[in-house]
Amino acid sequence: MGRAIWTSVGVAVVVQVLTLVVGRSFGKERLMIGWGMGALIRLLAVLVYGFAIIPALGLPLGPALISLVVILFVTTLFEPFLLTR
């Protein structure tokens, strides 16, 4: 179970950095478009992680998905502050 959680942490960090880069690339005048694109990237990441990566690595589905979604949710709460800086 620990391996599943730490793998989810790594995936979440990569996904959040990617969404931050994408969100900032739209600039402050199109902030909502960037934020929406970030939400789509996070959704796709959860789907790919759940259907492809978790089974391929043999991780337990519940702990891996729950930890990924919780980490993405918590870090998303800080995203507006990072996008408007």
Structure confidence by residue, pLDDT tens digits, 39-84: 999 999 999 999 999 999 999 999 999 999 999 999 988 887 877 7
Burial (Cβ within 10 Å: 0-12, 13-18, ≥19) of residue 65: middle
Higher-confidence residue: 42 or 85? 42
Task: Give, rounded to a whole angstrom, the gap between the first and last alpha carbons of the chain.
Answer: 37
What is the mean predicted confidence (pLDDT) over 5-30? 92
pLDDT at 79: 81
